Chains A and B, each alone.
Chain A
Amino acid sequence: MEDNQRRVNFQRLSSEDSAISDDSCEYYQTDIYEHLPSTLSRDWNSIQSLKMLPLCMQEKRNIRERLHQQKLKIGHWESWRRSQRIAWRRMVEQLKGFFSRLLPWKHTLHKIEGRFGVGVKAYFVFLRYLLGLNLLNCVIIALSVLLPSLYIKKGGPHCNLTSKDNGSVLDVFLGSGFLERSPVFYSFYKLKNIDKQCLNTSLLFFAGMVLILLLSFLMIVRRTVVGYKHTWMTGNHFSMNMSYKVFCGWDFCIQDPQAAFLKHSFIKNELKMDLEEQRFRLRVSQRTLKQKVVLFFLRLILNISVLALLGGSFALIYYATIKSQNKLDNVHWTLKLLWEYLPPITITVVNFVLPQMFCVIVTFEDYSLTTQLNLTLVRSIFLKLASLGIYLFFLITYLTTSIQNPETEFGKEMYKLTIFHLLACFCNAFLVSFPRAWIVDKYPSSMLAKKIGKPEFVIPLNILDLVYSQTVTWVGVFYCPLLPAISIVKLLVIFYMKMFTVIRCCAPAQRMFRTTSSSVLFNFMLLLGLIMSAVTLGVNINMFVPGTCGPFMGDSSVFNVTSECVQTLPRPVRNGISYITSEAFAFALILAEVIILTSLVSRGGANRKTIERLKDMLVMCSSDKRFLVKQHATLIRRQRRIAPSTE
């Protein structure tokens, strides 16, 4: 009875203040707690590495001594095995150290981390990861696409390109003229046989592209799953929001006093905001019906306006795409450049303006602050990927109906998107952020400076930018095989430009950013981009009739390369392949997947139940323990009281 009451009291410990803590204080200090087996030092397992022990150096030494003596007692075989294990562990550590030293920019990232915290560093780590990914893609392309084409001299028929030279500078920006005939674009590659059978450059080309998409897919899925496991494995059912913020709140990497001060205020604001949010939720549950109805209509109207904005921007992109395809011929070259770049410019402007408007709109919707931020982010993600998707859709429908060599045209458009993205980043860094920071630094008291303030480094939007550029690379890689190489250069430039912006221009963002929850989101966004590009590529291959250029010319479809190859294989292999690609096999596969999924889901459910039960048991055990300790303490006290009286 009493025990039960105590349990309830402890749940609301601080609401009832000190009545209990005074009382508990007494028996917490009873000796028995120090003699509990769990608090006594554990018998450290010898298999564990010594450095894993949370002990000071001298104690580690003592343990090692003991282990040595043990070793004398145990047989040769066991001691040999132990020493082998230690040697192996050392080698693995050294290898790890070696590979981690290969990663570039460690020192730079450390510096950024020290000034802006982990969140901003996550952006740069993500950038570095994309660089690695593109490097891998480049290697694959060099081996499977570039080398065979350059190495084999005798080639197929020459292809005639329709576009004409525009002068070298303009060519670099437009991807026309000499650039169109270079290995950068699809039309450079020709059908060349390597041996008599099916092995030819087009097959290698196709295999390389498929390999790139598959490898990227595997790598990103792996990264997403790792993050996902951390965040949601068990976290979904037990919210640990506040505990995280308090226990993992401080960023120990911070060295700059200014940054430390900012961090203090971040944490304070965040905690205050969370508490406020809790109270907000309480208020929400007390809303009257009338308020709810009004709010519902308000949100409906605002959502419709968001949709209208999205629709408007898509219409804008549509017009820009259609208009820019009607080439202007006899105008000044700058105007021509601008005209050709109309779709990328439109997309970039839309993506720059609309997120700001979403930020304003969301404030009227009366959501809690986190929901506001997430809603804006989700809307921005949708906008970014959808605008690119819409653009691709219009482009493909236009190209399939009216152009002779749609592949190279498509590659050129992707090339232009990539180049323009770089230009936009450049302009943003040096024409927007830098002047803003300069004005604030130079005239800190002026009206203008107070109004605009220093730019903030908004991590989600910047990451979104990277995802967008990577998606463009994946979409374009089939028709512009050197696009990964170009984006490596681009990412390098962006890295240094962003570093300059962050260090020189930016004030740290007012809102903290958690890498945990976001890294899943980033990788998920990247996955969406990859899926989008794979779909686009599939549609393209089906829609575009191979023209007079490129490695697949003359065939009715790209997939013919593989079917021709399959024909040359021996009969049993052919039968096997045709079975694997048939519906019967797909049915069996789906069935197997369903069975595996069902078993996993039920296992998950069982685990959840076990966790609940274990938690119950823990509560019971601990209350029992407390009860026993209290009994013990009273017993001892009584004994002591009796002892002097008997003397």
Chain B
Amino acid sequence: MGTAASKLPKDLLSEYQELTFLTKQEILLAHKRFTELLDRGDRQQAFNSRVPMTKVLTLPELKSNPFRKRICNVFSTSDVKDGSLSFEDFLDLLSAFSDSATLEIKSHYAFRIFDFDDDGTLDSGDLEKLVNCLTGETEDTRLTSEEMKQLINNILEESDIDKDGTVNLSEFQHVISRSPDFVSSFKIVL
């Protein structure tokens, strides 16, 4: 396993435990997986280095997820917005997707993931991209434009409470809060 330098210090570990929903074992496992993603040279300083998005996407837990790129972008704190993750970003990601995270936090991050243009609301463009992600990207799996129009109309009619043509965060959380399914399916466990 990792060398002594890449081990987690005890105070940092307990800090992570306090700031995330992860247990001690989960943090240790996350650390192990994260160092495996790093290049050999970077392993010594796992806390300062970032893993590029292409590397993160090779994780089996993310590989078949249609929102994988959005997930990386949302959780990345990188200044150049390239979707690369530091170890703490990675922990943030796992914490939001963990078993014990609350509906509140999960729905918040889900909203940010689905908000493709990062403007703070889900408009019809976002919804169209979202539906395309769900049904698959290729031409023959997509809905026809007529169906898409009908669907988006339906969604807005159902969940756009203040009728401004977009779904905002509180409206989104309103929908999500009625579905206990969501907590059990919005989950990525290493």
Give A residues with C-beta under 8 Å from B: 7, 10-15, 20-21, 24, 28, 39, 50-54, 56-58, 60-61, 64, 96-97, 100, 110, 117-118, 227, 230-231, 233-235, 238-244, 246-257, 259-261, 264-265, 267-268, 271-272, 275, 278, 514-516, 615, 618-619, 621-623, 626
Determine whether the beta carbon of B131 is less than 8 Å from that of A56: no
CB of B66 within 8 A of CB of A268, answer no
CB pair B64–A254 under 8 Å, yes or no, is yes
Question: Which residues of chain A are within 8 angstroms of B136 by Cβ–Cβ distance?
Answer: 261, 264-265, 268
Among all A-B residue pairs, the 6 with the closest Cβ atoms: A622-B162, A260-B64, A10-B165, A264-B136, A57-B88, A268-B135
CA distance A24 to B189 in the complex (A): 41
- Residue contact A250 to B178, C-beta cutoff 8 Å: no
Q: Does B43 contact A (CB under 8 A)?
A: no
Query: Using Cβ atoms and an 8 Å threshold, which residues of chain B touch A267?
Result: 134-135
CA of A260 to CA of B102 in the docked complex: distance in angstroms?
Answer: 25
A226 vs chain B, min Cβ distance (A): 9
Closest to A230 in B: B180
**From A28, A51, A53, A622, contact of B163 by CB (8 A):** A622
Inter-chain CB contacts under 8 Å: number: 197
Residue on A nearest B170 in the bound complex, by CB: A38
Set of chain A residues within 8 Å of B123, measured between Cβ atoms? 21
Answer yes or no: B164 CB below 8 A from chain A CBs: yes
B60 within 8 Å of A (CB atoms): yes
Choice from B88, B102, B153, B163 contacting A52 with Cβ under 8 Å: B102
Query: Please, which residues of chain A bring their CB within 8 A of the CB of B64?
Result: 254-257, 259-261
Describe A's contact surface by its main secondary structure. helix
The chain A residue sitting closest to B99, CB to CB, is A100
User: Is B143 within 8 A of A247, CB to CB?
Assistant: no
A contact residues around B100 at 8 Å (CB): 96
Instruction: Please tell me if B141 contacts chain A, counting CB pairs below 8 Å.
Output: yes
Query: CB within 8 A of B135: which of A231, A238, A255, A264?
Result: A264
A413 to B154, CA, bound (A): 54
Interface-forming stretch among B14-22, B31-39, B48-56?
A: B14-22
* Interface: B6 (CB within 8 A): no
Supposing A52-B102, A57-B92, A271-B131 touch, asked if A252 and B188 sit within 8 A by C-beta, the answer is: yes
Contact partners of B102 in chain A: CB under 8 A = 52
Contacts of A254 in B (CB 8 A): 64-65
As a 0/1 sequence over residues 165 to 178 of chain B, the CB contacts with chain A under 8 angstroms (1 = contact) are: 10000001001101
Cβ A515 vs Cβ B184 within 8 A: yes
Contact B61–A255 (Cβ < 8 Å): yes
Q: Identify which of residues 35-91 in chain B touch chain A, using a CB-to-CB cut-off of 8 Å.
A: 60-61, 63-67, 75, 77, 88-89, 91
Q: Show 20 A/B contacts (Cβ-Cβ < 8 Å), sorted by A.
A: A10-B165, A12-B153, A21-B123, A50-B19, A57-B19, A58-B88, A64-B19, A117-B185, A234-B178, A244-B181, A246-B130, A248-B182, A249-B134, A250-B134, A251-B185, A252-B188, A268-B134, A271-B147, A515-B184, A626-B164
Q: Would you call A618 and B151 a contact (CB within 8 A)?
A: no
Q: Are B181 and A14 in contact, CB atoms less than 8 angstroms apart?
A: no
Q: How far is the CA of A272 from the CA of B143 in the complex (A)?
A: 8
Check B105 against A52 for contact (C-beta < 8 Å): yes
**Taking A51-B21, A275-B151 as contacts, is the C-beta distance between A253 and B189 under 8 angstroms?**
yes
Most buried by B among A12, A13, A60: A13
Q: Nearest-CB distance from A95 to chain B (Å)?
A: 13
- Looking at the complex, which one of B65, B95, B134, B162 makes contact with A246 (CB distance below 8 Å)? B134
B97 lies within 8 A of chain A by Cβ: yes
Q: B178 touches which one: A53, A117, A240, A619 (CB < 8 A)?
A: A240
A619 near B161: Cβ-Cβ < 8 Å: yes
CA distance A12 to B154 in the complex (A): 10
Q: Which residues of B contact A53 (CB under 8 A)?
A: 105
A252 B135 Cβ-Cβ under 8 A: no
A288 to B182, CA, bound (A): 42
Least CB distance from A395 to B in Å reads 40
Shortest beta-carbon distance, B88 to chain A, in Å? 4
Chain B residues within an 8 Å CB radius of A260: 64-66
A13 is contacted by which of B131, B151, B156 (Cβ under 8 Å)? B156
Residues of B within 8 A of A255 (CB): 60-61, 63-64
Q: How far is the CA of A44 from the CA of B67 in the complex (A)?
A: 29
In the complex, what distance in Å separates the CA atom of A58 from the CA atom of B160? 34
CA gap between A254 and B100 in the complex, in Å = 18
Contact in complex: A516, B185 (CB < 8 Å)? no
> How far does the alpha carbon of A243 sit from the alpha carbon of B19 in the complex, in Å?
32
Contact between A278 and B89 (Cβ–Cβ < 8 Å)?
A: no
Q: How far is the CA of A243 from the CA of B102 in the complex (A)?
A: 20
Residue of A nearest to B61 (CB): A255
Instruction: Give Cα A64–Cα B14 distance, bound, in whole angstroms.
Output: 14
Q: How far is the CA of A221 from the CA of B95 in the complex (A)?
A: 33
CB of B62, distance to nearest CB on chain A (Å) = 9
A12-B153, A230-B180, A275-B147 in contact; A50/B18 too (CB < 8 A)? yes
Is B152 an interface residue, CB under 8 A from the partner?
yes
Return A13 CB to nearest CB of chain B, in Å.
5
- In the assembled complex, how far is the CB of residue A45 from the closest CB belonging to chain B, in whole angstroms? 12
Tell me whether B187 is interfacial, beta carbon within 8 Å.
yes
Q: Is the CB of A268 within 8 A of B141?
A: yes
Check A253/B187 contact, CB under 8 A, given A21-B124, A54-B105, A267-B135. Answer: yes
